[in-house]
Structure 1
Amino acid sequence: MANEETLRTIDTHNPITQVELPSHFHETPSNLQLHSNVNNTNHQFDEDIHKLVATLRTDVDTGICGDHADLCRRREEFGSNTCLEDSTNYPPQDTEHGGFIQLVHDVVKDTNIILLFCCSILSFALSIKRNGLQEGLHDGAFLFLAILIIISFSFIKNLFNQMIQKSTRRSNDGVDVVRKGRLQKIASSEVVVGDIVVLKSGDYVPAEGFLLHGDSLNLDDDFSLPKIHVGVKVLQGGGKLLVTAVGKNTEISKMMKSMSLNHNEESKLEIVAEKLNSKVEKILLCITLIVLVVQVFRCFVFENGCDGNKDPDPKGVKNTVEELMHETAKLMKKQDRRLNGLVSVLCMLVFSIREGLPLGIFMSMLCAAKRLHSTGLAKVRTLSASAAIGFVSTVCVDGIKDLMFKNFEMADLWVGLDKISEEVNLREVVDVKIYDVLLEAIGMSVSSSKEDHALALWAQRILGLDTVKLRQNCTILYNERFDPQNNDLRGVCLMKCESDDGEIGASMHWRGTPEIILPMCSYYYDQQGAKKTLDRDARIEFKRIIDEAGESPKLIAFAHEQLVIQDEEHHQPTQKEHQSKSKKHGLTLIGIVNLKNPYLLELKEAIRACQKSGVRVMLVTNESIEMAKFMAENSGILRQEGDADKAVIEACDIQNMPNDDKIREINTIANTSPSDKLQIVQCLRQRGELVAVTGRSSRDSPSLKEADVGLLLGDSGSKIANENSDIIVLQTNFSSISSLILYGRCVHENIQKYIQLELTLKLSAFSITTISSLFFTQNPLPPFQLLFVILIMDTFGPVALAMTSPSSPSSSSTFPLLTTKSMWRNIIVQVIYQTLIFLTLRLKGFGFVSSLDPNLMIFNFFVLSQVSVLINAKEIMKKKKNVKMETWKGTEGWFFVLVGVLVFLLLEVIEIGTHVARKQNPVPTKWCVTVALAAMSLPIGYAAKCCSWFKCN
């Protein structure tokens, strides 16, 4: 059965646990209550366990029967453990698609696809009218094939992602159970209620239950002992577990089910990017549709604009490689079908915007995640979290684990001339009488001041002070101040029962600063309880101790004197006689306490930096409200002392608050359970806030899953918590979280740079193609060559920009748009410049470039201009200092290396396009002109950034 060591670790905050028993197993009342309070006796716990074991028809030593009928009955009554994977990954995901029906449904809902179909139909009709039926059918087949690829690509991508998710699901590890008195190894999915699971080092708890016996057992989550939750890892030792809940009936699974049903797996960054995609697509499609409608009226109604420029393909079956290659080259060379070329380019642009922009964002976040891991700061499990962390508005942390709180760092204690070492049991090193006297001195002299509040908390957690019990055993006869003008010195006269035989004693305790108390003392106690004379040497040593402690306003000395009981009948000393005596020397020094701030300065600076940048740090802890207030004040979460009344509440108070006022001005919530923490996260998200939550154990899994960004502190935590987190913080301190927030904003800025590059490329290509279709006979941007250019820029562009040092990120915690006014300024300027150069070369190019095809020069200029746009995109705005972070150390050189690779690939595209089209290569002079025109984008972009009237974001 459960041993004493196990029972002593039972958590005092854990509520009464109820195990609901179906009718088949009723041998006691339907709800058997196991009291998990530390005040319960071992006998009471053993008795409750015996009742539960009997009710579940199992045995501590031999386990369940385990035959087929018994297992089936238990699974029928209590549920199966095979749904453990699903139970820890709520809300349920739509993993089954309806194949072709689902594809059609998506197409019908997508307005942009419908617009693209309309454009293709109009282009198809115009192609038949102008080029004949056979040629029109060929062109129409090409367009509709491109549309089919566009609408099916997302469908195929989703199926591929589902295959990856299934392949990475948690393995069904084996566990040891006792059945029929024999140790058996079974799959975790086969565990049933009533099983006796044998735990050993390295095991993950397969189900929920109670610890029966622990042999030096050390868990990564022992908060609720003797109850153990599913997914907890055994770090050391072993033990036996009585299974009481499996699968979806576990406490964690029930909390998972209470998560928001509309919890979207897509991050807000992905949602904003998708909206941006849709808007840009609609603009391009609507412009194209207007152009096509005008051309249809010209061709079919007014019959001007149908020039009948036919170029039919040769008839016959193409059965050789040479003929196929010839037809492919011929298709690439065809540039006289203006409107067909417009729709072809439109298909390329829609596809590249729809899939290229997410690809570029994915590449940016992938580079960011790799860099975070390489620096040892964090491991990113959800790529979008690397950017989303930068724009959280609230970070929910725990004051003990997350803020690295340690009880012994709350104060230093000197008894005699010796300092009590840290993390030492005071009872083991200090005489019992001195220990009791020190508890009296602290417990009976505390007031409601902030200093006394900290002193009482330290005494409770380190010395084991029980103020209720102390006040029951002692009576305060009167309080006294030596000097009414001096608040640093006060005394209290106590009468107490000295022994079990009823002997009554009285003492006078004094407390104050050492400078006041020491002159009043003639003796002091050492750790062994010996009373020594406070001579000159001892006073010098005490002065040294005071000097070492510094000029701390929280240095408190305690002294006392034994009083003679004058009134035998009422056992009360005479106050008047004592007052005259107390002004003389003769007190005995008990000890000196130096209250400290348990938090490091860098922690408070990190919290202050978050608050300055608009991020609220919220303390969510299971500690008492007094302790929560102490942690919040000392860590800097409570910035003003007056905030405590309205900013510190208990979890139970949230239910009574109006919906509009919930959590609006609250910074600290005490006495929270895991379900309370989940509710707090849901409430914050309902108010539109972006929430990051820290966690370490399996009980934090629902909150980690529900939050916008779940931060798992440490990579050795619970497996379920790991699976439900977004970022694993390797350096487990709050300073790392502060660095992650800054890093996330820098990552977001790099994504903005890529979006600026992407939109400049697509809008320039569209404007040039549209003008060519309306006013000229040839399109200078062939669809196939343009597709290769887009592919290269979408692949290498975001990687190169991810290597640039970010500018100072915005201090706003509001999640920004992916495009700003400054970005649109840069985009519009570059699009206008490229369009003007295109018109100049097209209108004046025949005389300027002599025998060289102006369309080839325009294409070369367009391609090389994207390199200048990439370099310009390094900065969205001027006059911003670069952020110096270790994560970007030594990356600037890689940017120019990638730019060189990108230039080489683009030149290859130009060369291949020239040979396929059988056009003359530009002479060096013309190359110089093209490069110069493309390079002019750099000073033009710089000038645009310097325009003060265009700088507002």
Structure 2
Amino acid sequence: MSTQEATFHDQPPGNALAWFASSPEGLSSPEAAERLAQHGRNELPPPPRRHPAVRFLRQFHNVLIYVLLAAGAVSAGLGHHVDALVILLVVVINAVIGFVQEGKAEAALEALRKMLASHTPVLRDGSRQMIASALLVPGDIVLLEAGERVPADLRILSAHGLRTDEALLTGEAVPADKLPDAVAPAAPLAERSSMAFSGTLVTAGSGTGVVVATGQATEIGHINRLMSRVRELKTPLTEQMDRFARGLTLVILAAATLLLLHGMLLGGLPFSELFMVVVGLSVSAIPEGLPAVLTITLAAGAKAMANRHAIVRHLPAIETMGAVSVICTDKTGTLTCNEMMVVRAITACNAYEVSGSGYAPNGEVRSREPALQTHGGNALAELALAASLCNDAALRYGDGAWHAEGDPMEAALKAFAGKVQARPEDSRQGWRRTGCIPFDAAHRYMAVLNRSGTGDTVIHVKGAPEELLAMCTLERGPDGTARPLDRAAWHRRIASLSAEGQRVLGFAAGATADGLSSLQHHHLREGLVFIGLLGLIDPPRPEAIAAVAQCHQAGIAVKMITGDHAGTASAIAREIGLREPQNVLTGAEIDALSDAELAGSLVHTNVFARTSPEHKLRLVTALQSMGHTVAMTGDGVNDAPALKRADVGIAMGNKGSEAAREAAALVLTDDNFASIAAAVSEGRTVYDNIRKVISWTLPTNAGEGLTIICALLFGMALPVTAVQILWVNLITATTLGLALAFELAEDNTMRRPPRRRSEPLMGLELLWHIAMVSLLFLCAVFGIYAYATDKGHPPELARTLALNMLVVLEIFHLFFIRNIHGTSFTWKAAMGTPAVWICVAIATTAQFAITYLPPMQRAFGTVAIPFADGLLVVVAGVLFFILIEIEKQIRLSLKAAALG
């Protein structure tokens, strides 16, 4: 237990302020800097890391590696020192790749933690500021808001319906109410309602608290429970491939044992030579580097997504994004700019147009009818006052522009109030909030209780205009008095604004009895007067319009889910380019549909208005029941169930709550729909690259192994020696295959329909490709060997030609496999990527070295190849490339015809 908490939870809140020499206005910046130096950063120590030497040694902890090391030891014992050295090089190089990749993975995790680091609103220097949670110090005044993590241990100073989820500390599933009142000194942790603890989640309401403990001094620090926000870079795919590699290893070792027994019984080769041949077979046929290359492919995809503003929290999401067939997206801030601006103000006696841009409180408020410019000015001022007081946002000027702190809509209301009242700082002058009902999706309004400098107590309410109209019986007339409410007229005005794509807010006010110090829902049941409407717009992002069109081209349905009015949603959908924008389904209509009826209506409906988080969950479930792979965006606390239920949950990094980010697999750092489309493209590219790696590795390994197996079974001379096979595996496995991990997207990546959920990674098409390429490898290697023998070339030259034939075939196979969805006969395909050419250059240089350098010739039994024979090897590689490319085009044409 923290001694500081034991000191403060049972005392009045003022004692905590006095203890830390703080005040309700917060610390000054110099004082905060001094305390940060004294107390340190507000963060727990990072998880322990293994020493680099231990990490390197762990790369050898693998059954396959043990087999190879044993084979190397036996080889050395039999006097095959070169073979033993090559085996050792294969093992060491694979270990180095794994070691480097693990280091990159840890660096990626650390970078991800930093990118997902939370920020906290505080009061410093007497004003609201947003700072990194790690910079909090004891005495800071923290502003608590629903959906955010409590950043440190706090003594509650004020609370308005404040509740926190403390399950990670207390195990209690029900959120705890928080109040500023002191509790008993002996109260257990779960009953300390006057405290908010670091790491817990604010589920409802708002409040303020003074920081009493940070970092390791917090409760969560004392019990050493660091909440990890990312998972290890280990995915079901890599686990599946690990199992595949282990199973394949056992099969190959069994086959190698049978071949060894076969060779010993027939007695065609000395045991030492036979053993090395079998070792060469094992090393060549086992794709020992495949899991590492796949992990590198996923890590490269995660980095590419991060560069396109999509942070991957769980790597399986990369694969899943490539299969997404429906994207369910929020509107505000995702499809639009999230820079709300009031453009229309309507009172009972006048309608105004509001000019300006962004959040700057500068602009004109002009009557739409010049003759009525001065008519109803008091109602407009009252509307501006309500917009300012029923508000938790703030406007800050910096770097030459006005910036919003808090909800964008509320910031726009602040800007509107500044335009009406000429000076932004006048909008709350002389008013003090004494009670609040925070906005909640359940009741769709926010209410505040304020006391003026003259002692008047007034309730101001803002929210969905339909809700407020149902709560009011009066409206503000032109002379400032209340008159009977004309609901029909207001509904016409709401419909008119909504049809123009504006978000409409209603405002009401009412005087209350003196002495009222807190606000409850029942206080709003009578006496409210409807003041007017404000229409706000949030223009579509230009890049989102292009991204929606790209998704449609890729066969992905885009569905917009918003809490806005149906007219607003339809108008924005039309501007964004959604299909059938006129078909709008509201939350009330969703409630009236059965699950089967809802699924049926989704076929022609892409716009959902006036929805709640519960509706999101139903929509995801209905779409999945239809066989879709669903990506769902969310930013609120209540979005978490839908985000978890979706195949890929996508949280907003800027406006999203911590609860949404923790439930999501992807976090957008720019809250932009275009980043979702980019993530789909990257997901498809990563999946393609995984298929390319597998489709290149397995056929080439099978071709190498099949060459040795046929030679042993039929008693033929080996076209390639064991040590040469080891050399090929050393060069290709660590270079050519790795190049495919960094392939760029193919031209038609976003013009293909999404892959089926049931589509296997290794299906009949891949098995056919393995069989075809293996046979072509076999024919080419034995063909070039037979050609050399027929010409009377010595065995060393014949084997050197066969060795180079293997490498040339693998290089041409690499260029073929780079374009599995299109033709390779293009200039772009021939140009390749820097990674491909670097790897090809390394493999080619190494092959020239083993062929022409005397020391390498002596070690590997090679000789120099005449130019004409070398040219023949390259021509054979070109013919191989043409054959498999023709087969691919026939296969793609048949597939297109079947789909057409």
Which bracket does the TM-score occupy, shorter chain normalised? 0.5 to 0.7
Letter in 1 for 2:333: K
Residue aligned with 1:693, SS:
strand
Give distance in 2, aligned partners of 1:207 and 1:170. Answer: 18
TM-score (norm 2): 0.57
Residue aligned with 1:354, SS:
coil
Structure 2 counterparts to residues 88-127 of structure 1, below 5 A: 116=67
TM-score (norm 1): 0.54
Give 2:775's aligned residue.
832
Counterpart pick for 1:284 among 235, 252, 264: 252
Deviations 1:523-577 (A, max 9, x none): xxxxxxxxxxxxxxxxxxxxxxx9xx9x978899xxxxxxxxxxxxxxxxxxxxx
In 1, are the aligned partners of 2:17 and 2:139 still within 8 Å (CA)?
no
Is it true that 1:906 corresponds to 2:875 in the alignment? no
Give 1:795's aligned residue.
735
Residue aligned with 1:337, SS:
helix
In 1, are the aligned partners of 2:634 and 2:651 still within 8 Å (CA)?
no
Give 1:921's aligned residue.
864
Give distance in 1, aligned partners of 2:571 and 2:499. Answer: 19
Counterpart pick for 2:799 among 824, 833, 855: 855
Residues 592 and 889 of structure 1, relative CA distance in 2, 3 Å threshold: farther
Structure 2 counterparts to residues 456-495 of structure 1, below 5 A: 474=473
Give distance in 2, aligned partners of 1:890 and 1:835. Answer: 28
In 1, are the aligned partners of 2:17 and 2:210 still within 8 Å (CA)?
no
Give distance in 2, aligned partners of 1:777 and 1:164. Answer: 50
Residues 266 and 933 of structure 1, relative CA distance in 2, 3 Å threshold: same
Residues 507 and 607 of structure 1, relative CA distance in 2, 3 Å threshold: closer
Give 1:242's aligned residue.
211
Is it true that 1:603 corresponds to 2:548 in the alignment? no
Deviations 1:148-167 (A, max 9, x none): 86997799679857986898
Give distance in 2, aligned partners of 1:169 and 1:599. Answer: 29
Give 1:741's aligned residue.
680
Following superposition, the deviation at residue 633 of structure 1 comes to: 6.4
Following superposition, the deviation at residue 768 of structure 1 comes to: 1.3
Deviations 1:720-742 (A, max 9, x none): xxxxxxxxxxxx52123212312
In 2, are the aligned partners of 1:407 and 1:462 still within 8 Å (CA)?
no
Following superposition, the deviation at residue 783 of structure 1 comes to: 2.9
| 395-404 vs 380-389, greater mean Cα deviation | 380-389
Following superposition, the deviation at residue 267 of structure 1 comes to: 3.2
Counterpart pick for 2:22 among 47, 61, 74: 61
Residue aligned with 1:745, SS:
helix
Give 1:650's aligned residue.
612
In 2, are the aligned partners of 1:628 and 1:670 still within 8 Å (CA)?
no
Give distance in 2, aligned partners of 1:902 and 1:134. Answer: 30
Deviations 1:175-233 (A, max 9, x none): 9x99xxxxxxxx999988xx313899xxx9963547989xxxxxxxxxx9x9998899x
In 2, are the aligned partners of 1:620 and 1:668 still within 8 Å (CA)?
no
Is it true that 1:305 corresponds to 2:266 in the alignment? yes
Residues 659 and 604 of structure 1, relative CA distance in 2, 3 Å threshold: closer
Deviations 1:608-640 (A, max 9, x none): 65477565767788x689899789967659974
Is it true that 1:342 corresponds to 2:278 in the alignment? yes
Counterpart pick for 1:84 among 44, 62, 65: 44
Following superposition, the deviation at residue 856 of structure 1 comes to: 1.8
In 2, are the aligned partners of 1:822 and 1:951 still within 8 Å (CA)?
no
Give distance in 2, aligned partners of 1:866 and 1:669. Answer: 42
Residues 339 and 462 of structure 1, relative CA distance in 2, 3 Å threshold: farther
Give 2:584's aligned residue.
641
Give distance in 1, aligned partners of 2:294 and 2:255. Answer: 26
Give distance in 1, aligned partners of 2:135 and 2:861. Answer: 70
Structure 2 counterparts to residues 400-439 of structure 1, below 5 A: 400-404=332-336, 406=338, 408=340, 412=344, 419-422=353-356, 433=376, 436=379
Structure 2 counterparts to residues 90-239 of structure 1, below 5 A: 116=67, 135=78, 195-197=138-140, 207=152, 209=154
Counterpart pick for 1:753 among 692, 717, 723: 692
Residues 291 and 159 of structure 1, relative CA distance in 2, 3 Å threshold: same
Following superposition, the deviation at residue 857 of structure 1 comes to: 1.7
Give 2:808's aligned residue.
864
In 1, are the aligned partners of 2:345 and 2:353 still within 8 Å (CA)?
yes
Residue aligned with 1:876, SS:
coil
Give 1:769's aligned residue.
708
Give 2:651's aligned residue.
693
Letter in 1 for 2:44: L
Give distance in 2, aligned partners of 1:662 and 1:898. Answer: 44
Following superposition, the deviation at residue 421 of structure 1 comes to: 0.8
Give distance in 2, aligned partners of 1:607 and 1:629. Answer: 16
Residues 630 and 600 of structure 1, relative CA distance in 2, 3 Å threshold: same
Give distance in 1, aligned partners of 2:567 and 2:631. Answer: 11
Letter in 2 for 1:907: F
Where structure 1 has 5 or more consecutive residues not aligned to the other structure, the ranges are 1-18, 29-49, 64-78, 128-132, 179-186, 214-223, 233-238, 311-335, 441-455, 476-493, 515-545, 557-589, 715-731
Give distance in 2, aligned partners of 1:279 and 1:870. Answer: 25
Residues 282 and 135 of structure 1, relative CA distance in 2, 3 Å threshold: closer
Identity of aligned residues (%): 12
Residue aligned with 2:333, SS:
coil
Is it true that 1:680 corresponds to 2:642 in the alignment? yes
Residues 438 and 759 of structure 1, relative CA distance in 2, 3 Å threshold: same
Letter in 2 for 1:58: W
Following superposition, the deviation at residue 387 of structure 1 comes to: 5.9
Letter in 1 for 2:13: L
Following superposition, the deviation at residue 749 of structure 1 comes to: 2.1
Counterpart pick for 1:876 among 811, 820, 823: 820
Give 1:484's aligned residue.
none
Give distance in 2, aligned partners of 1:507 and 1:134. Answer: 100
Counterpart pick for 1:812 among 754, 762, 767: 754
Residues 614 and 759 of structure 1, relative CA distance in 2, 3 Å threshold: same
Residues 896 and 345 of structure 1, relative CA distance in 2, 3 Å threshold: same
Where structure 2 has 5 or more consecutive residues not aligned to the other structure, the ranges are 25-38, 124-131, 144-148, 159-177, 181-195, 202-207, 368-373, 384-442, 448-459, 504-530, 591-597, 599-607
In terms of Rg, which structure is larger?
A: 1
In 2, are the aligned partners of 1:363 and 1:795 still within 8 Å (CA)?
no
In 2, are the aligned partners of 1:81 and 1:190 still within 8 Å (CA)?
yes
Give distance in 2, aligned partners of 1:242 and 1:619. Answer: 40
Residues 890 and 150 of structure 1, relative CA distance in 2, 3 Å threshold: closer
In 2, are the aligned partners of 1:867 and 1:899 still within 8 Å (CA)?
yes
Give distance in 2, aligned partners of 1:786 and 1:855. Answer: 14
Give distance in 1, aligned partners of 2:15 and 2:580. Answer: 51
Residues 426 and 20 of structure 1, relative CA distance in 2, 3 Å threshold: farther
Residue aligned with 2:78, SS:
helix
Letter in 2 for 1:285: L
Structure 2 counterparts to residues 359-758 of structure 1, below 5 A: 359-361=292-294, 389-392=321-324, 398-404=330-336, 406=338, 408=340, 412=344, 419-422=353-356, 433=376, 436=379, 474=473, 598-599=539-540, 603=544, 606-607=547-548, 609-610=550-551, 613=554, 636=578, 640-642=583-585, 644=587, 645-646=589-590, 650-651=612-613, 673-674=636-637, 676-684=638-646, 689-696=647-654, 699-700=657-658, 703-707=660-664, 709-714=665-670, 732-758=671-697
Residues 800 and 836 of structure 1, relative CA distance in 2, 3 Å threshold: same
Give distance in 2, aligned partners of 1:373 and 1:161. Answer: 14
